[in-house]
């Protein structure tokens, strides 16, 4: 592991420590000094959060909850209320649960969402629990295999000083995860209104959108990752929102959908 990687890991540990303790330093930085880049996803979330302090949210595929996460700083700064869901047990127990364990406004769950309660097979890299590696975990094996085939995995492993398995078939392992339906989750936590629904499930985002029954739930804002979606699913996802009164906009690898009659629709630009 080179010096840059070591320093980066130390920095991440410091940020996690400050965030999980709701440190004044962490909160004050994002309240008084932080300025997101113009036109970025963070700028939209920042502005929406400032206009709606204490908003109610659901985050699906939260991973560790802080590293490369566009929401954590606003959840902490503006006292959001809601739930975060992450199916990977190691990531959940090591990071996400601890990040919010001192908050009575936030609940975290080690589940995956599905059409029915039970168990489902998830695919992840066998040789690393680094954030870049756990971020590739998916219910679609094809998504993970594509990342391997185009050299994305090998590149990260080399930079991190991680030795790859000799055979590519040993790169991926299966993991069974417990599932819950969105309807059961919302009922369990007595959530009737959702201001923000955030989805990042590595190629499974369209399926999650359908599970939430957008016409009935009508969250004010939905933010999902479009990067790993097939073109047909990208089109179908936008169609669901437009048919239900939403305005959509792509920002890099993400799509924002906001109700066209919402008071904050102008934030979309």
Q: Is residue 52 part of a domain?
A: yes
pLDDT of residue 6: 80
Residues 226 and 192 in one domain: yes
Q: Is residue 209 part of a domain?
A: yes
Q: Is residue 211 part of a domain?
A: yes
Residues 110 and 124 in one domain: no
Q: Is residue 194 part of a domain?
A: yes
Q: State the total domains in the chain.
A: 2
Residues 67 and 148 in one domain: no
Residues 209 and 229 in one domain: yes
What range defines the domain where residue 74 resides? 39-115+182-268
Q: Is residue 9 part of a domain?
A: no
Residues 187 and 108 in one domain: yes
pLDDT of residue 1: 58
Instruction: Phi first, then psi: give them for residue 3, nearest 5 degrees.
Output: -60, -40
Query: How far is residue 184's CA from residue 122's CA, in Å, rounded to a whole number?
Result: 21
> Tens digit of pLDDT for each residue in 155-194?
999 988 899 999 989 999 999 999 999 999 999 999 999 9
Domain edge (last residue) among 129, 147, 176: 176
Query: How far is residue 259's CA from residue 19's CA, in Å, rounded to a whole number?
Result: 31
What mean pLDDT is predicted for residues 197-210? 95
Asked if the model's pLDDT at residue 46 lies above 90, the reply is: yes
What mean pLDDT is predicted for residues 56-64? 97
Question: Helix and strand tally (H, E) in the chain?
Answer: 13, 10
- 50 touches 73 (CB < 8 A): no
């Amino acid at each position: 592991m080179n010096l840059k990687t070591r320093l980066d890991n130390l920095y991440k540990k410091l940020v996690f420590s400050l965030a999980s303790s709701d440190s004044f330093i962490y909160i004050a930085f994002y309240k008084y000094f932080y300025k997101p880049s113009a036109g970025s996803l963070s700028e939209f979330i920042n502005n929406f959060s400032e206009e709606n302090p204490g908003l109610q949210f659901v985050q699906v595929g939260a991973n560790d909850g802080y590293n490369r996460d566009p929401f954590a700083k606003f959840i902490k700064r503006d006292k959001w209320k809601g739930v975060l869901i992450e199916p990977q047990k190691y990531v959940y127990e090591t990071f996400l649960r601890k990040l919010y364990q001192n908050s009575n406004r936030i609940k975290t769950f080690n589940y995956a969402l599905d059409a029915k309660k039970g168990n489902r097979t998830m695919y992840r890299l066998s040789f690393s629990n680094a954030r870049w590696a756990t971020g590739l975990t998916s219910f679609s094996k094809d998504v993970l295999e594509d990342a391997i085939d185009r050299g994305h995995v090998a590149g990260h492993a080399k930079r991190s000083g991680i030795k790859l398995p000799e055979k590519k078939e040993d790169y991926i392992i299966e993991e069974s995860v417990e599932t819950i339906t969105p309807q059961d989750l919302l009922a369990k936590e007595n959530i009737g209104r959702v201001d923000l629904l955030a989805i990042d499930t590595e190629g499974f985002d369209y399926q999650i959108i359908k599970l939430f029954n957008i016409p009935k739930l009508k969250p004010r804002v939905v933010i999902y990752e479009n990067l790993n979606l097939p073109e047909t699913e990208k089109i179908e996802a936008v169609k669901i929102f437009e048919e239900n009164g939403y305005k959509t906009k792509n920002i890099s690898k993400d799509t924002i959908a906001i109700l066209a009659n919402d008071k904050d629709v102008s934030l979309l630009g």
